[in-house]
């Protein structure tokens, strides 16, 4: 959230932060969203997830005006992404697509493996790779023989939320490895889902944590805010 606010300041985008207490009620949060939906000088609304467990995340997301949904989490926007005709790109997946494009990597026909099936990253990531003609496999915690699947990936995107889970021996030599993980270790250090040390010599391209995907997520969010102001 700190980095998102800083990006707004750098670009001259107004941002207002509402830090609600952990015991905030569903009604209080819904009423704040309704107020922001009505405010004409607010173009984008972002509810930082996850929410405390007593709050119903789905109804909160559903309450955001889809035209102000700069995270692209509302079912209306999710549906548009599925069809391939969207106003808002999902922030992390779109940031990853930009990294891949900037490295001049063609996705057409490539084996693309996404580790993790979250609504925020895994599922929309699979969809964007599919739109660019990748052959997409989405794996998850119940997947059997993960090693055999990751080992075939030309493009491997890891968003499972387990520190250093993907090791060098699970990666195809020369593969593009994108690490979405942000795991806080006991010593307070940030670790990705990929074991960078063992992976870096096998991969053709690899993103670090921190500093790889995170800044791209924020850049896409900023694009979405500008887009929202034009809708």
Under the binding rule (CB under 6 A), the answer on residue 49 touching ligand GUN is yes
Residue nearest to ligand GUN (CB): 49
Residues whose CB falls within 8 Å of the CB of residue 171, separated by 6 or more in sequence, listed in order: 150, 151, 153, 156, 177, 199, 202, 203
Of the pair 65, 217, the CB lying nearest ligand GUN is at 217
Tokens of 137: 């496999």
What is the C-alpha to C-alpha distance for residues 181 and 204, in angstroms, rounded to an integer?
19
Question: Using CB under 6 A, which of 65, 92, 139, 207 touches ligand GUN?
Answer: 92
Residues 55-74 that bind ligand GUN (CB under 6 A): 71
Instruction: Return the SS3 of 79.
Output: helix
Q: At how many degrees (to 10) do helices 213-230 and 91-102 cross?
A: 110
Check if 38 is active-site. no
Closest CB 74 distance from ligand GUN, rounded Å:
12
Name which of residues 190 to 229 contact ligand GUN (CB under 6 A).
217
Q: Which stretch binds ligand GUN (CB under 6 A): 15-23, 46-54, 131-139, 200-208?
A: 46-54
* Contact call for residues 199 and 171 (beta carbons, < 8 A): yes
Residues in 125-164 that interact with ligand GUN by CB under 6 A: none
CA–CA separation, 100 vs 35, rounded Å?
38
Q: Is 46 in the site for ligand GUN (CB under 6 A)?
A: yes
Is 26 labeled as catalytic in the residue annotation?
no
Q: Number of C-alpha atoms within 13 angstroms, CB side, residue 149?
A: 19
Which residue stretches of 66-212 are H helix?
A: 75-83, 91-102, 122-131, 146-150, 196-199
Any catalytic annotation for residue 169? no
Q: List CB contacts of 165: < 8 A, sequence separation 6 or more.
A: 115, 158, 181, 193, 194, 195
Residue placing its CB nearer to ligand GUN in the complex, 73 or 110? 73
Catalytic residue among 4, 80, 200, 227: 4
Shortest distance in whole angstroms from residue 228 CB to ligand GUN: 14
Q: Which span sits near ligand GUN by CB under 6 A: 19-27, 42-50, 133-141, 169-177?
A: 42-50
Residues in contact with ligand GUN by the rule CB under 6 A: 46-49, 71, 91-92, 120, 217
């Amino acid at each position: 959230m700190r980095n998102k606010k800083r990006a707004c300041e750098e670009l001259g985008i107004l941002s207002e932060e509402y830090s609600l207490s952990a015991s905030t009620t569903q009604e209080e949060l819904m009423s704040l969203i309704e107020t922001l939906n009505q405010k004409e000088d607010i173009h984008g609304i972002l509810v930082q997830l996850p929410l405390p467990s007593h709050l119903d995340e789905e109804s909160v997301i559903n309450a955001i005006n889809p035209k102000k949904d700069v995270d692209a989490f509302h079912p209306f926007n999710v549906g548009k992404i599925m069809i391939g005709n969207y106003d808002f790109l999902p922030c992390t997946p779109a940031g990853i697509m930009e990294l891949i494009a900037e490295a001049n990597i063609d996705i057409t026909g490539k084996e693309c493996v996404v580790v993790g099936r979250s609504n925020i990253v895994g599922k929309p990531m699979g969809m964007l790779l599919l739109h660019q003609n990748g052959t997409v496999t989405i794996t998850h915690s119940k997947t059997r023989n993960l090693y055999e699947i990751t080992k075939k990936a030309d493009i491997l995107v890891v968003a499972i939320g387990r520190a250093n889970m993907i090791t060098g021996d699970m990666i195809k030599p020369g593969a593009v490895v994108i690490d979405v993980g942000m795991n806080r270790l006991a010593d307070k250090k940030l670790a990705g889902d990929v074991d960078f040390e063992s992976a870096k010599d096998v991969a053709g391209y690899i993103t670090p944590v921190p500093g790889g995907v995170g800044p791209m997520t924020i850049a896409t969010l900023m694009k979405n805010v500008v887009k929202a102001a034009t809708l």
